[in-house]
């Protein structure tokens, strides 16, 4: 058999990425449909993200409080009864949110314990969250793939760019510079070395962007339900290892997992980011509610930071 040429070897990552994109394209309609279903559930539960603020759209009337400027009173509404009312406008502070779902080979893993692969779940959550956030007035982007947009067709836009991206897919997000007060959401299994993870998070947080790290794992990666003679193959080309009695590895594996996860959390929290673990045998709704709540808190914090006095220092 002839040896592969140097050109064939160099092009292999691209060929693999093309094949992966084709497989993803075949699954995409199902993922988009599931994302819309989940987004509809979230939107119904949230009843919107409206808050009082300095926007232009009317939100509600509230009672006038002593000490407020008289010009804020809505005299026409106040004339209807014996109370003074203020016409509140809806809070409008659209900001940019970057979503990055890991599409490296390790994310294709799905054990018999879960219906969805890690990649499929990461994409469903990304699509659903984008749909919810766009309806809340935010702008959504994908690093190096999609400029921030508030398009109502955000799921279609994201899906199209992901499917047609035939580059090699690394395990960590690209080095880009999110603007201050923007937010970054990373969905990955994060099995990369801690040093690489630390460098990536540090670069993304350097300008003041806030972020959320979601470790997406298959239940088998947590419980290690293996026994007997099993060959474990590393999905990203680092070789394989044979276990004679896999069950004897369980305790050591789980201890290693706990240490790695503790290091991920420590590096994330060092920059004021959040860290969440999501298992693919659980539904995505709880995760989306939690992320939405954290992002809402970050949005209000960003607004307060923008309007803080210039001499105010950052607290530790």
Categorize the per-residue pLDDT at 243 as very low, low, confident or very high, splitting at 50, 70 and 90: confident
Predicted pLDDT at 159? 97
pLDDT at 267 over 80: yes
What's the confidence (pLDDT) of residue 65?
74
Is the pLDDT confidence value at 303 over 80?
no
Backbone angles phi, psi at 261, to 5 degrees: -70, -40
Mean pLDDT of the chain: 83
The rounded distance, in Å, linking the Cα atoms of 279 and 61 is: 43
The reported pLDDT for the residue numbered 15 is: 60
Taking Cα atoms as reference points, which of 237, 275, 300 lies closest to residue 9?
Answer: 237
Nearest to 155 by CA among 101, 115, 227: 101
Residue 38 CB-half CA count within 13 A: 26
Taking residues 66-81, what's their average pLDDT?
Answer: 82
Q: Residue 305: CB partners within 8 Å, gap ≥ 6? A: 181
Report the C-alpha gap between 11 and 291 in whole angstroms: 39
Give me the mean pLDDT over the 133-156 stretch. 93
Confirm if 126 and 101 have CB atoms less than 8 A apart: yes
Residue 62 has pLDDT above 70, yes or no: yes
**Higher pLDDT, residue 230 or 36:** 36
Report, as an integer, the average pLDDT of 61-73: 76
Number of continuous H segments (helices) and E segments (strands) in the chain: 8, 10
Q: Decide if 185 contacts 100 (C-beta within 8 A).
A: yes
Q: How far apart are CA 133 and CA 212, in angstroms?
A: 15
Please give the Cα distance from 241 to 223 (Å, whole number): 19
For the segment 81-85, the average pLDDT, to the nearest whole number, is: 83
Tokens for 202, please give them: 């540090």
pLDDT digits (tens, 9 = 90+) for 43-57: 887 654 444 444 445
Contact 109, 118 (CB under 8 A): yes
Q: Regarding predicted confidence, which is higher, 218 or 20?
A: 218
Phi, psi at residue 203, to the nearest 5°? -65, -40
User: Considering the entire predicted model, what is its pTM?
Assistant: 0.76
Which of left, alpha, beta for 69 (phi over 0: left; psi -120 to 50: alpha)? Answer: beta
Contact (CB, 8 A) for 211 and 179: no
Residue 304 has pLDDT above 90, yes or no: no
Q: Give the mean pLDDT of 256-274.
A: 97
pLDDT at 312: 35
Instruction: Determine the pLDDT at residue 231.
Output: 86
Q: pLDDT tens digits, residue range 173-227?
A: 998 999 888 999 999 999 999 999 999 999 999 989 999 999 999 999 999 999 9
Q: Give the pLDDT band (50/70/90) at residue 10.
A: low
């Amino acid at each position: 058999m002839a040896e592969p040429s140097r050109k064939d070897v160099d092009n292999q990552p691209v060929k693999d990425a093309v094949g992966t994109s084709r497989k993803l394209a075949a699954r995409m309609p199902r993922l988009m449909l599931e994302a819309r279903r989940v987004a509809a559930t979230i939107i119904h539960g949230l009843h919107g993200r409206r808050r009082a603020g300095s926007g232009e759209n009317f939100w509600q009337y509230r009672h006038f409080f002593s000490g407020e400027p008289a010009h804020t009173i809505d005299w026409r509404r106040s004339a209807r009864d014996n109370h003074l009312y203020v016409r509140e406008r809806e809070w409008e502070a659209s900001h940019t949110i970057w979503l990055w779902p890991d599409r490296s080979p390790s994310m294709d893993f799905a054990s018999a314990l879960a219906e969805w692969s890690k990649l499929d779940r990461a994409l469903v959550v990304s699509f659903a969250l984008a749909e919810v956030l766009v309806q809340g007035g935010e702008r959504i982007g994908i690093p190096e793939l999609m400029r921030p947009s508030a398009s109502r067709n955000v799921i279609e836009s994201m899906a199209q760019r992901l499917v047609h991206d035939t580059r090699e897919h690394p395990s960590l997000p690209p080095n880009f510079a999110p603007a201050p007060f923007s937010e970054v959401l990373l969905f990955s299994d994060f099995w990369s070395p801690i040093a690489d993870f630390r460098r990536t998070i540090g670069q993304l947080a350097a300008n003041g962007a806030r972020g959320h790290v979601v470790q997406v794992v298959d239940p088998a990666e947590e419980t290690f339900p293996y026994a007997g003679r099993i060959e474990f193959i590393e999905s990203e080309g680092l070789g394989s290892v044979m276990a004679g009695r896999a069950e004897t590895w369980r305790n050591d594996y789980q201890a290693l997992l706990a240490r790695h996860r503790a290091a991920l959390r420590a590096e994330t929290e060092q920059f004021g980011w959040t860290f969440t673990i999501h298992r693919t045998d659980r539904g995505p709704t709880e995760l989306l509610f939690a992320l939405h709540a954290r992002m809402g808190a970050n949005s209000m914090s960003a607004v307060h930071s923008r309007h803080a006095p210039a001499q105010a220092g950052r607290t530790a």
